[in-house]
Structure 1
Amino acid sequence: MRRRVLLLVAATTTLVLVAFLVPLAMLLRNAAADQAVQRATVQAQALTALVVTTDREALDLAVRQVNARTDQDVTVFLDDTRLGVAVDPTPLVELARRGRSESASVPGGQEIVFAVQRPGSTTAVIRTFVPDADLTKGVPRAWLLLGGLGLLLLAVSLVVADRLARTFVKSTVDLAAVSHRLGAGQLDARADETAPGELGVVAGALNGLATRIDEALREERETIADLSHRVRTPLTSLRMDAESLSEKDGERIIAGVEAVNRAVTDVIGQARRRGVAPEAAVTDAAAVVTARVAFWAVLAEDTERALTVDVRPGPLPVPLSQADLEACVDALLGNVFAHTPHGTAFAVRLDPVPGGARLVVADSGPGLPAGPVLRRGVSGSGSSGLGLDIVRRAAERTGGAVELSPGRRGGLTVTVTFLGSR
């Protein structure tokens, strides 16, 4: 932006200077030529009285003195005599002999002739010649001064424009920096509303937006905290009831309650961290997938589902928190139990890939439902449609992706790739 402002000011100033200095330069040249011609005319006219009143010797002396004092060439043409600078009669001299005084531009300068009527004689002609050097005397120096003045004015305009451009650019850069800080979660960042012109208006709007986002996040945290408090009370009662059951059933229900409790705790933590720059987290995918498959294996046994597990030995680090990765695995396995009939076999496989890991969950159920099932809130089987969206967002945060495809023996295969770059 700064460079563009300087180019614009330079172009505008140059056009103004050219429009002003070029006519002024031509005016100076014409004025210098007019002054030289006027001086020559005055000197030639001074000889007019001498041509009429003095004799030839006195007139010759006067012409010589004029030529010695000036750079002009003065010649007086009498009947058959030529006084002063020896030049041949020119067409303009012949015209003056017929009684007309004229001036004209000739090669090398300006020629001026005066017709003087002598008593009892033919018309005498006073000729003066002004060379080009006199016509342009002082013009090159004046032009150099004008050029220097133009360059000085251009330099001053560029300095002033640079100072103004720095002000605008600095305000723009500061505004962008505040936007980046807000995007990184620093909601206390504020822009300078005293920035010049419309930038100050934008800064005020950005500050208002940041304040509104901060208020909305605070309300969200309060709402989630209240909701979590309401959920934990029945969870505590459910845990106490589970402790009174048989050891096998009690342990399974307590494990489920603990999982729900951990999920609620994680939601509260995420709500409290909302608006704060996220911290880097790395989790061993092999350990998490093994643990969650072991949890779901009990339910698979109860529903007579054949489970095949192929988890490569870890560690297989992925840039997700343990809670987020557990939520992904639970969403995928939960979909198998929710959308396939009892007795449907499924398989879980975790393989290493360059920089991350690939999780594959395949079942032999009814297959992929129609519609954009990866879009949040969209489901082809009557569910909330949030499970696969949770998986998709988690994978995309690592730079990976989710792929849905039909299995080789029917059913659905979900392939989730977690990469090592955010």
Structure 2
Amino acid sequence: MRRRLINSTLAVVLVVIAVFGVSLVIVETRTIENSAQESVESDAVRLVSIVDTRLMGGEAITAHILRDQIAGGRYARIQIPGRDPLEVGERPSGNVIASRKAGERGETVLVEASRSTVSKEVGRTLLIILAVALLAVLAAVLLAVRQARRLSAPLTDLAETAERLGSGDPRPRHRRYGVPELDRVADVLDASAERIARMLTAERRLAADASHQLRTPLTALSMRLEEITLTDDPEIVKEEATIALGQVERLTDVVQRLLTNSRDPRTGSAVPFDLDEVVKQQIEEWRPASRSEGRAIVRSGKPGLRAVGTPGAVAQVLATLIENSLMHGDGTVAIRTRVTGNQAVVEVTDEGPGVSPDLGARVFERTVSGRNSTGLGLAVARDLAEADGGRLELLQQQPPIFALFLSREAEESAGEG
């Protein structure tokens, strides 16, 4: 591209120089020839005038007297009736410029100048025009190179930016070049880079959240399936298969919820549901794991609550809280339901050391963990709760009390009111 810009600029300059240069040479040549002709005629008129004057006064007319009246290098021949011709200077050979004038006394004056003088003047003019043309070409080359660099360097840089975007590096460069059209392209590329960065972040976040949220339910499902393979009792097989199918449905709901939140975290599908049913289901699902740890899960509080939310998402939040209690806590895991205002609250606590003071409210931040865990569970649980208009809070650090706040069903709230 740089070469094409330079060549096109030079082509334009050369065409302009050719058109105007030829015209200028023609005009200057004619001007020089006309000027030389006028100068010769002027000398002839002057000599005629001098000869007339001296003839009228009876004065002598000699070559010495007339030599100073014509330009150097020119030849003059004065013809006076009744006298021999009078010559001044050396007659030029070859092509000449001549002018013949007649006086009042019958005399004639012929002035000649060599055309080589005109040719030399024309040659000097051509050299000057050629030098100016060369300077113009040189200046055009320098300007063309500078302009080509100014245009090609940004284009190369924009191409590198586009290549970086294609290779998976979406960092915007925020470079501008002082050319409106190129700056517009840079704006579009930077905006695209930011969109791609957000998309990649969302995809990575979805992969991490899905990996974390599905790990424990899949383990529990695997345990159910193992129990089915170890028994021959059809009733137990049927019961375990029914529970496994329920877990599969909840896993499907969790995956759908994660996909929905990855596209738009504000999008919710909250519906009225039986909160007791979700709590009971989670207790039954986590009881085998708690027994294997020599611990217990108990429930207390107000029964018969109905809340507004996504049952699968609420179940996943409670599963995260119970899993954290079993993994990081100690003693009995207690689940308590209560009412505060127009909200239903589910509290999960245990008898462990709780959340360290240096973590505090940061426990809900991603990658923040008190032990060797991913730090994603509580962050994802909070996102799921907020997507349904609820909230997840740490009410107490020692012993730990996590509370899930959900809106109550309107008719239930009005009935109690």
TM-score (normalizing by structure 1): 0.47
Report which of the two structures shows the higher radius of gyration computed on alpha carbons. Answer: 2
